[in-house]
Each structure stands twice: as C-alpha cells, then as structure tokens.
Amino acid sequence: MQPYTRVTGLVCPLERANVDTDQIIPAVYLKRIERTGFGQFLFSAWRFLPDGKPNLEFVLNFPHYQGATILVAGPNFGSGSSREHAVWALLDYGFRTVIAPSFADIFRNNCYQNGVLPVVLPQPAVDRIMQKAKPQPGYRLTVDLERQMVTDGLGLEEVFEIDAFRRHCLLHGLDDIGLTLQHEDKITAYERAHPR
C-alpha cells in the first residue's frame, strides 16, 4: 500500500449526500479479481448516459475537474454494501482523499486498508470547500496527514481528527497484511519451532 503523508491536488465537488457503494461502483462491474481497472466504472450510472456517451452534466466529466485527486462530498458517503471495490474504484480513478461530513463505517475502514484518506470535516467547512471548488477551475487543497490539516493557501485551514493507529498505518503504508509482515521473523521462528 502506498504511504499517505501529504497530498496536494485538484478538488472535485460532488454535491450529493448518502452516496452508496452501488453508486460508487455498480455491482455489474464486480466480476474482476484484480484491485485495478475499476476507475473506468467509477460513478458509471452518473458519468454515462444509457447509450454509453458521457453525461456532460455530471461533475466528473467537466474538463476542469479532470485529474482531481481530492473528492469532496456530502454526508454519509460510502453507505450501503461493504464492497471494497468502491474504494478500489476511487483509488484507480486517481482519488487519494475523500472529504465529507461523515462516512459509513465499513467504507471508512476500507479506505484505511487501501491508502485512501477519509477526512471528516464539519458540514460548514465542507460547504466552504464546495463553494470554492465550483467556480474556481483548478482549485487545489493540501491534505497533510502528519499535521492533520487541510489548507488551500487562500485562508482555509481545517484541522481533522483521525485515530492514532490508523494515522500510523497510513503514514507508513501498512494494511493488515503489512502489519502482520512486520513480525515475519517471529512468525518464521514459531513455524520452525512447531513443525508439522
């Protein structure tokens, strides 16, 4: 997993509440076994019209949000099923950070396990970011995990909370497997001492 320390990137505002995992990545695309390749299907029901052409009224299709790495959304982002594919799709598309007033618990945990930082900010702060991102093509934020701060260089400074253990894991690029492998020497010693 790629460590997350500090990300400066283009902001894409998704003014929707209760975005569930089926909207993030519809179930029809969950047949792949790899973690990659899901970005092309991100928000597909919103990004594409029934004939397969891009929906030019959907924010991710606006030219000035192409290459965004920070998604800002409404409350209860990632609700619904527990599919990890939703985070894989966001990451594969290019998002390293999602900022919202609240997240569904399982989705938030899946973010931590895959190197995506879910940042919880109060609704007024999220609204301010949305209002800055909509009229300003190229609006960028810096999300600093070490300082637990979101800034834009234009006066916005928001502190966010994160569990110390989750912060440590993200800073060092450790998912559950990575944490276990830190004790590989002890695991190997145990296995040698207990032959089949």
Q: Residue 140 maps to which CATH number?
A: 3.20.19.10
Asked if residue 96 is part of any domain, the answer here is yes
C-alpha distances in Å from residue 32, one per residue of 35, 144, 158, 163, 172: 8, 33, 38, 32, 28
Quote the pLDDT of residue 92. Answer: 96
Q: Rounded to a whole number, what is the largest CA-CA distance in the chain?
A: 65
Asked if residue 1 is part of any domain, the answer here is no
- Return the percent helix, strand and coil in the chain, to nearest 5: 40, 20, 40
**Ranges assigned E (strand) in 15-139:** 70-73, 97-100, 117-120
Candidates 102, 98, 104; CA nearest to 80 is: 104
Quote the pLDDT of residue 179. Answer: 65
Asked if residue 30 is part of any domain, the answer here is yes
Question: Domain residues for 82?
Answer: 6-193
Alpha carbons within 13 angstroms on the beta-carbon side of residue 109 total 7
Quote the pLDDT of residue 175. Answer: 78
The number of folded domains in the chain is: 1
Quote the pLDDT of residue 183. Answer: 64
Asked if residue 63 is part of any domain, the answer here is yes
For every one of its 196 residues, what pLDDT tens digit does the chain have, with 9 covering 90 and above?
899 999 999 999 999 999 999 999 999 888 877 888 999 999 999 999 999 999 999 999 999 999 999 999 999 999 998 889 999 999 999 999 999 999 999 999 999 999 999 999 999 999 999 999 988 789 999 999 999 999 999 999 999 999 999 999 999 998 767 666 666 676 667 777 887 7
C-alpha distances in Å from residue 173, one per residue of 4, 39, 114, 149, 166: 7, 21, 9, 19, 10
Asked if residue 12 is part of any domain, the answer here is yes
Candidates 2, 19, 195; CA nearest to 107 is: 19
Quote the pLDDT of residue 182. Answer: 67
The C-alpha atoms of residue 73 and residue 96 are separated, in whole angstroms, by 14
